[in-house]
Amino acid sequence: MKWFVLITVLAVALGAVPRKPTARDFFLEEADNDAFTLIVLTEGRRVVLGEIGRKVSLNHDDISFEMYEERDEESGGYHVTISWEGPSSVVFEDCLDFGDRQWYGGPEQKEQYWPIQKSKLEKYSIISKEADNAAVSERYWVNSAGWYVYIQPEVPLFVDHHNILDNHICFVAEVADPYSSKRPRNVLKYDLWFFDTPKDAHMHAVHTYLGKPSGVPDYRMIQYPVWSTWARYSREIDQENLWTFANEIKDSGFPNAQFEIDDLWEVCYGSLTVDERKLPDFKQLIQDIKALDFRVTIWVHPFINKDCEPWYSEALGKGYLVLNEEGSPDSSWWNNNGSVPGYIDFTNPDAAEWYSSRIRNLIETYDIDSLKFDAGESSWSPQIPVQNGDIELHPGHIVQSYVRTVAQFGPMIEIRSGMRTQDLPVFIRMVDKDTLWDFNNGLATLVTTLLQMNMNGYGLVLPDMIGGNGYNEKPSKELFVRWLQANVFMPTLQYSFVPWDHDEEAVEICRRYTQLHAEYSPLILEAMEAAVERGEPVNAPIWWLDPQDKDALEIWDEFLLGESVLSAPVLEEGAVSRDIYLPKGLWRDGNSGEMITGPQWLRDYPAPLDVLPYFVLEEKHV
């Protein structure tokens, strides 16, 4: 196999008057004997340094370059480790040609394209952040040729698609916001692996770098819907409408996993103290709702607003808030409400325990069953944040520390942010989707985000509310039904807008597909157990069944449940049919029962509003 990788290093002197960058281009080529040759282009001249064999080290102007290659006999893979190191004023850029390959991985995105070479990113920081919905942000990419890249966590990493070089993905290491200028050096270090297929590559990455979940979430949450107050009531909750909503759900005959009380039940943000003006007998209300056969969960977050006293002053005085490098605790979040917030410093064990003990007290006082933990992205902390631990792992420390702290609260919780936390046995929720159809954070991105999270090692996905968040408008009947159908073979359902907001047809369609999800919940659990045991995705792209199928490698609007169900939801407004691609195998049409042999395209498959196209794999190889 012939291949090459373009590697560029830019050494930039940072100062009042930056000098023109100098560039050295390196090409890595595979020789006929499977050894590698490093070629340096300097001022237009081709200089061959010789076969790498096992290792090459270069040093020039305080910049060191090290590269070694090794074949892994056990996995059958081949990898090259590349490491640049220099002063913190140096910028390193290494670029890989997208070529005609399909690429997957990288951060969760608001406009989540799949494969990712369809997107355009410009020097985009790879941290868990609020911008662009990048709550889950991993340093891992894999392509259809069976290559994958894993960039080490100490790298102050930015990624670029198509800007630095056309049709290239470029990895930039630069000590610049949001990374601390106090870092003692700059480093770009990564492993580049080569396998025969992307499936082989991904499974190797899971076992070598990404990890796999250590357990499965609560089964009732898998089987039946979570009912949240958020989209329906926003912050306008009180004793009366919570009780009314719970009775509506009970009277509808729809099943439930739990009743989720969202924002705003506190006297002020961060108090963890019930507002008795709105909820005068909260303890009894919870018991009444539980008597309707609900479990009750409640929304919490890692912030304390500055006007939330005495809790803010207590946290600040004890050193429990994240400070920036200027010593300020002032940050921002979507619920400022005129008050500057602080972010609890979960990298401080005493602060983490202070927070956890207050959560435990809330649970015990009101007999609450579990919690929805929101936010957690490092961008919410004051910039540039000071954290405990190795500065070269900042700012990701706060993300890991937060979600690992709250994961102790059991299998019913949900979180929404992550960095190298694939091992946690809890649901991780997609960031809010808007009530729209397209790739502008609408329904189309429900499937692509699911695939993106799974291929980053996060298979325990809780899709957000059916129909979206409703910030722009409430979902139409068509959008609501299609959203539910797209959600059926994902790990769990979450309602807030309700089927009876529309008409009896919507209710009956939603009832049928809520039941279909419940019927397949043992298979969902089985897929989760495979994720725990073997690290397999719960919802894989359809090429998982045939990772050399060129058609399957491009599909973004279909997905698998385990290795036995293919879901092809309708994601286009007004559509009553769609084209469906079935990879190889013998498939049973979930609607008609017809047996179909793949690989083949099913053109204009009929899918009126009450039809979700899905197929069950009866035989893998035909």
Per-residue pLDDT averaged across 76-104, rounded? 90
Confidence of residue 241 (pLDDT cuts 50, 70, 90): very high
Per-residue pLDDT averaged across 102-111, rounded? 96
pLDDT of residue 37: 46
DSSP structural state of residue 344? B
pLDDT of residue 67: 76
pLDDT of residue 55: 63
Q: Who wins on pLDDT, 39 or 588? A: 588
CA 254 distance to own-chain centroid = 29
Confidence of residue 338 (pLDDT cuts 50, 70, 90): confident
Could you give the percent of the chain with pLDDT greater than 90? 83
Q: Who wins on pLDDT, 13 or 102? A: 102
Q: How many Å apart are CA 7 and CA 92, to the nearest integer?
A: 9
User: Per-domain residue ranges for the chain?
Assistant: 24-209
DSSP structural state of residue 20? P
Q: Who wins on pLDDT, 220 or 60? A: 220
* Angle formed at CA 422 by CA 370 and CA 470, multiple of 5 degrees: 55
Alpha-helical regions (H) of 276-377: 282-291, 311-317, 349-366
* Angle formed at CA 104 by CA 103 and CA 108, multiple of 5 degrees: 140
Long-range contacts of 530-535 (CB under 8 A, 24+ apart): 530/562, 531/212, 531/213, 531/459, 531/460, 532/212, 532/213, 532/214, 532/215, 532/216, 532/425, 534/203, 534/212, 535/203, 535/206, 535/207, 535/210, 535/211, 535/212, 535/457
Mean pLDDT is lowest, of 58-62, 259-263, 521-525, 600-604, for 58-62
pLDDT of residue 60 exceeding 80, the answer is: no
Mean pLDDT is lowest, of 73-77, 98-102, 557-561, for 73-77
The residue with tokens 């369809």 is 118
Contact 578, 599 (CB under 8 A): no
Mean pLDDT is lowest, of 2-16, 77-91, 285-299, 435-449, for 2-16
Per-residue pLDDT averaged across 463-492, rounded? 96
Per-residue pLDDT averaged across 82-105, rounded? 91
pLDDT of residue 262: 95
Is the preceding peptide bond at 395 cis, omega within 30 degrees of 0?
yes
pLDDT of residue 11 exceeding 60, the answer is: no
Tens of pLDDT, residues 365-415: 999 999 999 999 999 999 999 999 999 999 999 999 999 999 999 999 999
Q: Name the token pair of 597.
A: 């042999």
Question: How confident is the prediction for the chain on average, in pLDDT?
Answer: 90
In the chain, the amino acid numbered 285 is L
pLDDT of residue 405: 98
Could you give the percent of the chain with pLDDT greater than 70? 90
Confidence of residue 24 (pLDDT cuts 50, 70, 90): very low
Dihedral sign for Cα atoms in the order 150, 152, 155, 156:
positive
pLDDT of residue 535 exceeding 50, the answer is: yes
Q: Name the token pair of 260.
A: 């989720």
pLDDT of residue 73: 83
pLDDT of residue 9 exceeding 50, the answer is: no
DSSP structural state of residue 196? S
pLDDT of residue 48 exceeding 60, the answer is: no
User: Topology of 24-209 in CATH?
Assistant: Immunoglobulin-like (2.60.40)
Contact 195, 77 (CB under 8 A): yes
Q: Who wins on pLDDT, 480 or 54? A: 480
pLDDT of residue 103: 97
Per-residue pLDDT averaged across 352-357, rounded? 98
pLDDT of residue 257: 97
pLDDT of residue 5: 42
Coarse DSSP helix, strand, coil percentages of the chain, rounded to the nearest 5 percent: 25, 30, 45
Q: Name the token pair of 546.
A: 């045939």
H helix and E strand count, the chain: 13, 32
